[in-house]
Amino acid sequence: MNKEIKPLKFSGKWDFDPAPESVDHISLKDQYGLFINGKFENPQTSNYFPSVNPANEEHLSMIAEAGEKDINAAVSAARKAFDGPWSKMSAKERGKYIFRIARLIQEKSRELAVIETLDGGKPIRESRDVDVPIAAAHFFYYAGWTDKLNYAFPNRDPKPVGVAGQVIPWNFPLMMAAWKIAPALATGNTVVLKPAETTSLTALKLAEIIQEADLPNGVVNIITGAGATGAGIVNHQDIDKIAFTGSTGVGKIIMKAIAGSNKKSTMELGGKAANIIFEDAPLDQAVEGVINGIYFNQGHVCCAGSRLFVQESVYDVVLRKLKDRIQSLILGNPLDKNTDIGAINSKEQLGTINKYLKIGQQEGADMFQLECPIPKKGFWCPPTLFTNVSQSHVIAKEEIFGPVLAIQTFRTIDEVITKANNTPFGLSAGVWTDKGSKIFNLTSQMRAGVVWANTYNKFDPTSPFGGYKESGHGREGGLHGLTPYLNF
Amino acid sequence: MGAFISPKVDKVGIEDRVNRITKRSIKKEAKLEGLKMALNMVDLTTLEGMDTVNKVTQMCYKAQHLHDEFPGLPTVAAVCVYPNFVKIAVNALKDSPIKVASVATAFPSGHSSLDVKITDTKMAVDAGAHEVDMVISRGKFHMGDFGFVYDEIAAIKQACGTSVRLKVILETGELGNLDNVRLASDIAIAAGADFIKTSTGKIKPAATLPVTLVMLEAIKDHYYKTGIMVGMKPAGGISNSKLALQYLVMVKETLGVKWLDNHWFRFGASSLANDLLMQILKQSTGAYQSANYFSKD
């Protein structure tokens, strides 16, 4: 690039006025109990912990902490419901309840989106256009399977496994609850679900929806708390299946804990996905895909495209385009409809991300960030990229779970396949090229559960999702997502 | 012909990006500022077989008196007419900053000899046009004769001289796909276009957001290669303010704030101006006024 050519400027003229989504239509209680057997109950621990808005550190609500007795109550309610009405109900009737939940999510989509954004810090654009619609879509999709299981698995006589214990993360709270609950109910199981402690609110709103849908008591139980509550569910004797989405570290602990038990499991764990740009790719759209791949939801995405591989011949152009696009992103109030980058989910996670930013610089990589004012309160990290990175850098090896991209170059397709697979993770990958044969060559050799071609971070309930290697096992979504909840 | 290799375009990716751009929410001061900016970028246009001296004169008056009841409004950027009306327009606008643009080169089809096209261009230039809007030879483009398309643009650019700015109309509605839009943009820019323009307004679809995004990316790549800024003019089919603001968001987020100026961005439209006026007044007074209060010339 000619040095005399000034970089383009994307702000300083016609900057947009704030356009915040209103919050006056939502209803949040001061305090939430545990949703057990169709009712909100006070926790037997008598403990409550606060839920805060990570964008301004303001208090939102108090959340109950479930202890051993509460977990026992939830599991026994689920067992009773499984032995009772739920397994005796016709499949068609079961489907009606799930359709009803889906419709209620749609009806309350605006409220759910605002609460998701308040509680988790993600931009309203994403909670409104991605999280909530996908959550509803999962219930709709799996509701349709309910009375067709015998056709899905001909001559195999599918039967529900029983009570499912489900532990979900804080990055897509409502959507993950839907991914877990919808297939479990469609296959005739009952559920004890625990949302992450920083983002319990939409799961509790979902509990209210489940009440409104008049689902038989105990079919879905939602109990809140931190790691100890999750461990209590995992280790409970009367649970038949564990579904976990979260970090690889916790996934390993769970697998050790349930070893030797009769529990089935699905694990959807960490990732360090390779996003690969070939020289013949549609570069502007590839850059957009890379931006969407790593900065979507502040990079709090297990399948985030956090390692970018660019063919050397287009490296300079791609880097310049990436930097320009980063400068046109808007960071700020997550409730603002124009916000692209919201708040980091928690103080703790911001600490982890900042630790990696420091490591990257100490390792000698070059850091580039969006230049923008950072709000004084709350937890924030501007979109960041590192150049001058190799496979040996910590920032290219470990999952950061933040808006941090590590860029490397490659020369040949074989080289990039080797590097892309050179990781203990294997959840997802992306490839950008105009040549179809290259896509098929690469995708067939990629050790990753999902490979996107000329797009990234596209989710659909009909499509199975899950990992290779230490990114987990089992699939969620699609026909594949039914099997972990069935015995044959 | 192998000399023209353009970057590939992915339609799905372009549509995703456009979708995101259209979700920007422009409120309050930014909305008013955007509306005024858009009004200042309009090329008021009449390109009809039934154009007359009186019609052109009336439009030129309108261009200078958009809505006199509301002081402080910007003017439009230019009026756009056929070559035989250039003198009328130049005369009518001689005391204003408004430019006169003329279509030329056997507009709208472009089917004629180079000599005729150059004569057509010179007629507009000699009559005092500040800007010439030419059409490319789409037939030759589809035949793969990109050299012909390039040479023709270069010849018309020469006929324009150094002070008249050349807008090159790609007629994207006839190009078939976005890869062709990108290729035609690159050819026009390489041949010396000061502006690239989507459409004649005679073919549907005329300007669209995806097509404009592809053209803006071509302008951006050229800027980073040469440091030279090229203007952009979507034309046809942009009739309301909301859509105009979406175009401006696209310009801002693709090319940056330098292009947010009528020297670098124009709307080819005739009915857009009144909708912008109506919205500007609404932003200022809080109430919509009847369309009957806005003159139609």
Same domain, A121 and A242: yes
Residue A338 belongs to some domain of the structure: yes
Q: How far is B229 from chain A (nearest CA, A)?
A: 11
pLDDT tier, A4 (very low <50, low <70, confident <90, very high otherwise): confident
B233 is catalytic: yes
pLDDT digits (tens, 9 = 90+) for A441-457: 999 999 999 999 999 99
Residue A436: burial class (beta carbons within 10 Å; 0-12, 13-18, 19+): exposed
Asked if A238 and A97 touch (Cβ cutoff 8 Å), the reply is no
The domain spanning residue A331 has which CATH number? Answer: 3.40.309.10
CB contact under 8 A, A328 and B26: no
DSSP lists the bridge partners of residue B45 as B80
Asked if A186 and A478 touch (Cβ cutoff 8 Å), the reply is no
Same domain, A367 and A232: no
Residue A465 belongs to some domain of the structure: no
Residue A8 belongs to some domain of the structure: no
Residue A25 belongs to some domain of the structure: no
pLDDT tier, B5 (very low <50, low <70, confident <90, very high otherwise): confident
Q: According to DSSP H, which parts of A276-426 are helical?
A: 283-295, 315-327, 347-362, 394-397, 413-421
For residue A92, what are its two tokens? 């068609």
- Residue B204 to residue B194: CA distance in whole angstroms: 24
pLDDT of residue A339: 98
A16 vs B: CB within 8 A: yes
Q: How far is B210 from chain A (nearest CA, A)?
A: 12
> Does position A2 have pLDDT exceeding 70, yes or no?
no
Same domain, A233 and A335: no
**Pairs across A and B, CB distance < 8 A:** 96
Q: Which of B211, B125, B222 is nearest to B173 (CA)?
A: B211
pLDDT digits (tens, 9 = 90+) for A275-306: 999 999 999 999 999 999 999 999 999 999 99
Mutate to test the interface with B, among A285, A433, A457 (most CBs of B within 10 A): A285
The domain spanning residue A45 has which CATH number? Answer: 3.40.605.10
pLDDT digits (tens, 9 = 90+) for A366-382: 999 999 999 999 999 99
Residue A26 belongs to some domain of the structure: no
* Nearest-by-Cβ selection for A12 from B27, B31, B257: B257
> Does position A3 have pLDDT exceeding 70, yes or no?
no
- Centroid of chain to Cα A157: 32
Q: Which of B191, B56, B172, B218 is nearest to A284 (CA)?
A: B218
For residue B28, the chain A residues in CB contact (below 8 A) are 17
B122 is catalytic: no
- Residue A177 to residue B181: CA distance in whole angstroms: 44
* Nearest-by-Cβ selection for A14 from B25, B34, B255: B34
For residue B173, what are its two tokens? 């509605």
Say how many residues make up chain B: 297
Same domain, A380 and A456: yes
A418 vs B: CB within 8 A: no
For residue B260, the chain A residues in CB contact (below 8 A) are 13-14
For residue A219, what are its two tokens? 């079919």
> Residues near B156 by Cβ (< 8 Å), separated by ≥ 6?
B104, B105, B117, B118, B121, B132, B134, B166
Pairing of strands A190-194, A58-64: unpaired
Same domain, A330 and A217: no
pLDDT of residue B9: 97
Residue A373: burial class (beta carbons within 10 Å; 0-12, 13-18, 19+): exposed
A320 vs B: CB within 8 A: yes
SS3 state at A451: strand
Can you state the angle between helices B209-226 and B178-190, rounded to 10 degrees? 40
ipTM of the complex as predicted: 0.94
Q: How far is B52 from chain A (nearest CA, A)?
A: 39
Same domain, A437 and A482: no
Asked if A60 and A37 touch (Cβ cutoff 8 Å), the reply is no
For residue B64, what are its two tokens? 């200078």
- Of the two residues B210 and B269, the one the predictor is more confident about is B210
For residue B29, the chain A residues in CB contact (below 8 A) are 17
CB contact under 8 A, A282 and B23: no
SS3 state at A291: helix
pLDDT digits (tens, 9 = 90+) for B163-180: 999 999 999 999 999 999
pLDDT digits (tens, 9 = 90+) for A103-143: 999 999 999 999 999 999 999 999 999 999 999 999 999 99
Same domain, A147 and A107: yes
End-to-end, the C-alpha distance of chain B in Å comes to 46
For residue B55, what are its two tokens? 């019609």
Residue A406 belongs to some domain of the structure: yes
For residue B220, the chain A residues in CB contact (below 8 A) are 8
For chain A, percent of residues with pLDDT exceeding 70: 99
* Nearest-by-Cβ selection for B258 from A9, A15, A125: A9
- Residue A143 to residue A155: CA distance in whole angstroms: 21
Residue A3 belongs to some domain of the structure: no
For residue B188, what are its two tokens? 């026009």
Mean pLDDT of the region A419-444: 97
Q: Side-chain half-sphere of B258: how many Cα atoms within 13 Å? A: 14
Residue A420: burial class (beta carbons within 10 Å; 0-12, 13-18, 19+): buried
End-to-end, the C-alpha distance of chain A in Å comes to 62
For residue B242, what are its two tokens? 């909301």
Same domain, A262 and A282: no
Same domain, A282 and A221: no
- Residue A184 to residue A163: CA distance in whole angstroms: 9
Q: Which residue of B has its CA nearest to A328?
A: B253
Residue type, B107: F
CATH C-level class of B11-293: alpha beta
Round the average pLDDT of chain A to a whole number and report it.
Answer: 97
Same domain, A445 and A478: no
Say how many residues make up chain A: 488
For residue B70, what are its two tokens? 């509301």
pLDDT of residue B3: 62
Q: Side-chain half-sphere of A48: how many Cα atoms within 13 Å? A: 13
Residue type, A366: D
**B63-74 burial by CB neighbour count: b if 16+ within 10 A, else e?**
bbebbeeeeebb
Pairing of strands A366-369, A220-222: unpaired
A338 vs B: CB within 8 A: yes
Asked if B221 and B212 touch (Cβ cutoff 8 Å), the reply is no
Mean pLDDT of the region A182-194: 98
CB contact under 8 A, A282 and B7: yes
pLDDT digits (tens, 9 = 90+) for A45-104: 999 999 999 999 999 999 999 999 999 999 999 999 999 999 899 999 999 999 999 999
Which range marks the domain in which residue A284 is found?
274-460
Residue type, A188: G
Q: Which of A220, A224, A197, A458 is nearest to A347 (CA)?
A: A197
B225 is catalytic: no
For residue A450, what are its two tokens? 């999902």
pLDDT digits (tens, 9 = 90+) for B219-267: 999 999 999 999 999 999 999 999 999 999 999 999 999 999 999 999 9
What DSSP line would sit under chain B, residue for residue? -TT-------HHHHHHHHHHHTT----HHHHHHHHHHHHTTEEEE---TT--HHHHHHHHHHHH-S-TTSTTPPPPSEEEE-GGGHHHHHHHTTTSS-EEEEE-SSTTT--S-HHHHHHHHHHHHHTT-SEEEEE--HHHHHTT-HHHHHHHHHHHHHHHTTTSEEEEE--GGGT-SHHHHHHHHHHHHHTT-SEEE---SSSSS---HHHHHHHHHHHHHHHHHHS---EEE-BSS--SHHHHHHHHHHHHHHH-GGG-STTTB-EE-SSHHHHHHHHHHHHHHSS---GGGS---
Residue B108: burial class (beta carbons within 10 Å; 0-12, 13-18, 19+): middle
A22 vs B: CB within 8 A: no
Q: How far is A281 from chain B (nearest CA, A)?
A: 7
Place of tokens 């990753």: A448
Q: Which of A116, A197, A268, A476 is catalytic?
A: A268
pLDDT tier, B1 (very low <50, low <70, confident <90, very high otherwise): very low
For residue B258, the chain A residues in CB contact (below 8 A) are 8-9
Residue A17 belongs to some domain of the structure: no
For residue A417, what are its two tokens? 């396949």
The dihedrals phi and psi of A461, each to the nearest 5 degrees, come to: -60, -25
Asked if B217 and B254 touch (Cβ cutoff 8 Å), the reply is yes
> Does position A157 have pLDDT exceeding 90, yes or no?
yes
Q: What is the DSSP letter of A156?
A: S
CB contact under 8 A, B256 and A10: yes
pLDDT of residue B2: 46
So where are chain B's domains? 11-293
| CA separation, residue A428 to residues A257, A452, A469, B244 (Å) | 27, 8, 11, 39
CB contact under 8 A, A337 and B217: no
Segment holding A19, helix H or strand E: none
Q: Which of A302, A399, A470, A476 is catalytic?
A: A302
- The total of structural domains in chain A comes to 2
- Residue B123 to residue A440: CA distance in whole angstroms: 56
Residue type, A462: T
For residue B36, the chain A residues in CB contact (below 8 A) are none
Residue A91: burial class (beta carbons within 10 Å; 0-12, 13-18, 19+): middle
Mean pLDDT of the region A32-45: 98
